[in-house]
Structure 1
Amino acid sequence: MDSAAVDQFEAGRGRLASLAYRLLGSAADAEDAVQDTFLRWQAADRERIEVPEAWLTKVATNLCLDRLRSAQARHERTAGAWLPEPLLDGDPMLGPADTFEQRESVTLAVLTLLERLSPAERAVYVLREAFSYSHAEIAAILDITESASQQHAHRARTRVAAERRRGGGAADPASARRVVEEFLAAATSGRTDRLVALLTDDVTAVSDGAGLARRLLRYRSRERVASFVRAGFTSTPAKRRLAGGVLAMHLARVNGTPAVVAVVGGRVVGTVAFEVRDGKVASLYGIAATDRLARLDEGWQRRDPGVPVIDGW
């Protein structure tokens, strides 16, 4: 392959990776899909490709759909042990963030909701909402009619919007951070009543059980979530042994929302991402499985973490 063809692909690599991440919810799988797209590009008769960007988008999208439809992916995602892979804000794989729809499409809450859509609905939603493709363009990418694209988009928006209405309006970053700081203080001080008061009536919490549970742990109701959080943020020798040492907890932003990042010896061992609405916590996503934290940890190594909000946990 000549250098011009390589440069042409590399110019669009970031966009393809961002698209693949939104479709698959996994940075590692997204990187594999982009690499497979490059191999297809390498083998293609490029002189016959009129619009390289459209061709690459079509190939990458359909490779992602193949992964979503595979027997292994269906088993993993329906077994109840799957959460999206968290990424630090600033990671280029999060992609475009100019509009509200683009920012929201990459939150852990929406990526989790997209799991309830069919692969075709998910693809149409991402292409339309996050990348502003027309229905004519989407139809060409997915080999469907424009009418089918419109129907998929309507169903996807309706299902996502129904869930997103719960809890009220999203908080601005500064307000959300203050709520999480207060929440963390309550969780680590034993102030259960204040912890309950900081949760919405329909709060939910989801955890991968530090990567040890075979199924995701799910909690609903303020009292159950508060109990789960109090237990999770209570330091014990067993937890320190499991984490590999004494933890420091930092506040950061993960997938566009405030998060607590747990670090041992400079290495990320877990994160809890929060969705804050109307001054309260509406949902929490706890992820500590090592294979889901590799890219987040890689990004963490390149930044100045600053002073932890909790040290010596």
Structure 2
Amino acid sequence: MTENEFLAERFEAHRGHLRAVAYRMLGSLAEADDAVQEAWLKLSRSDVADVENLGGWLTTVVGRVCLDMLRSRTSRREDPLEVRIPDPIVSAPDAVDPEQEVLLADSVGLALLVVLETLGPAERLAFVLHDLFGIPFDEIAPIVGRTPAAARQLASRARRRVQGAAPTPDADIARRREIVDAFLSAARGGDFEALVSLLDPDVVARSDAGALRGGASLARGAATVAGQALTYARFAMVAEPALVNGSPGVVALAEGRPMSVMAFTIVDDKITALDILADPERLALLDLTFLDT
């Protein structure tokens, strides 16, 4: 085995972890793969003979790459408050693909990723690396160009925003599936009162249709969201059950093509958030082969 082959083998042992870090940082599967590839290129050009913790070294590299990508994205975005639904990880309603399990190891729901999209790049990095992956602030500080104390403050601010906007969903996945099914049934039947009864009074519905189809939108309140569900009941009519980031959700299909992916956040038996990706270009990139079986 050559030295480069040995290095590649060691890198592959960390690839799943690095992709999980990058996905949480970027909310994009394609960009996450790009960040991981950039880490490999950096490794292949570096002398790491004296590196005792290669996993930590690679995580730091991926963190730097992702931070640069986030800063570039922020500088290009005209409206920093626009809604952006991250790439969902969609799988069969009864099983998550083994490769996807690595990405979803911390049960990173789509609602959490949506909130992470609202954080500044440095805040997002500090929160993701420390709170989701346990990286010490001493190691995070050089990446963001701050002191460890300042890095701790970044994570603390991010944590408060996350806790306020992305509460921990109910643990009973079977019960969550029942509530999703009840929502679809009420939408199909045009039952406004039933829809309202399933929604939290402060429910938030976020939709991202892509730039070519009107962009993003946000609706608040049970009555408003229930009304929208009736307006778009055609999606419920063709909805197929799925797991969206490991939680019960649905994929709406038309002639075998996805029209939308909907994720539900359910807390105390009430739907507190709906996150809907309806961008045809991004939907076309999703692996939905499980729907053909």
Aligned to 1:47: 49
The aligned residue for residue 262 of structure 2 is 272
Tell me how far apart the structure 1 counterparts of residues 29 and 83 of structure 2 sit (CA, whole Å).
17
For residues 123-272 of structure 1, the aligned pairs below 5 Å read 123-164=125-166, 170-209=170-209, 212-234=212-234, 248-272=238-262
For 1:154 and 1:304, how far apart are their aligned partners in 2? 41
Residue 73 of structure 1 and its aligned partner are, at CA, apart by 5.9
Query: Cα offset for 1:293?
Result: 2.6
Q: What whole-Å deviation, never above 9, does each CA across 1:220-265 have from its counterpart, x for those lacking one?
A: 1222111111111237xxxxxxxxxxx8421111013221112345
TM-score w.r.t. length of structure 1: 0.82
Superposed CA offset, 1:10-66 (max 9, x none): 111111111000000111111111111111112222335443222211111111110
C-alpha distance in structure 2 between counterparts of 1:212 and 1:81, whole Å? 15
Q: Give the aligned partner of residue 28 of structure 2.
A: 26
What's the counterpart of residue 311 of structure 1? none
Unaligned 5+ residue runs, structure 1? Answer: 236-246, 307-313
**SS state at 2:135 partner:** coil
Q: Secondary structure at the match of 1:110?
A: helix
Code of the residue aligned with 2:102 in structure 1: it is G
Tell me what 2:109 maps to.
Answer: 107
Residue 61 of structure 2 aligns with an amino acid whose one-letter code is V
Stretch of structure 1 that moved more, 36-45 or 257-266 = 257-266
Residue identity over aligned pairs, in percent, reads 37
The verdict on how the C-alpha distance between 1:140 and 1:94 changes in structure 2, with shifts beyond 3 A counting, is: farther
SS in 1 for 2:234: coil
2:109 & 2:79 partners in 1: Cα distance?
18
Give the Cα–Cα distance (whole angstroms) in 1 for the partners of residues 176 and 207 of structure 2: 21
Letter in 2 for 1:263: L
User: 2:209–2:280: 8 Å Cα contact kept in structure 1?
Assistant: no
Matched with 2:66 is: 64
Question: Aligned AA for 2:195?
Answer: L
Whole-Å separation in 2 of the counterparts to 1:25 and 1:174: 26
Shift of 1:155: 1.1
The CA deviation string for residues 286-311 of structure 1, in whole angstroms up to 9 with x for no partner, is 11213323453x2x21x3667xxxxx
Shift in alpha-carbon separation, 1:294–1:65, aligned structure 2, 3 A:
farther
1:293 paired with 2:288, answer no
Q: Is the 8 A contact 1:14 1:93 kept in 2?
A: no
TM-score, normalised with respect to structure 2? 0.87
CA distance in 1, matches of 2:284, 2:35: 17
Output one character per residue of 1:148-199: Cα deviation in whole Å (capped at 9) or x when no partner. Answer: 222112111112112245xx86352111110111110000111111111111
Read off the aligned partner of 2:260 and give its amino acid letter: G
CA distance in 2, matches of 1:184, 1:279: 15
RMSD over aligned CA atoms reads: 2.6
Secondary structure class of the residue paired with 1:95: helix
Tell me by how many angstroms 1:77 deviates: 6.7
Distance 2:32 2:101 in 1: 11
Amino acid paired to 1:146: P
AA aligned opposite 2:134: S
Count of aligned pairs between the two proteins? 286
- The structure-2 alpha-carbon separation of the partners of 1:272 and 1:18, relative to structure 1 and needing over 3 Å to count, comes to same
Q: What secondary structure does 1:78 align onto?
A: coil
CA shift in 2, pair 1:155/1:72, >3 Å: closer
Determine the C-alpha separation between the residues in 2 that align with 1:73 and 1:267.
34
**Amino acid of the residue matched to residue 288 of structure 1?**
A
On the 8 A contact 2:20/2:104 being kept in 1, the answer is no
| More off after superposition, 18-27 vs 277-286 | 277-286
Partner of 1:309: none
SS at match of 1:47: coil
Secondary structure at 1:46 match in 2: coil
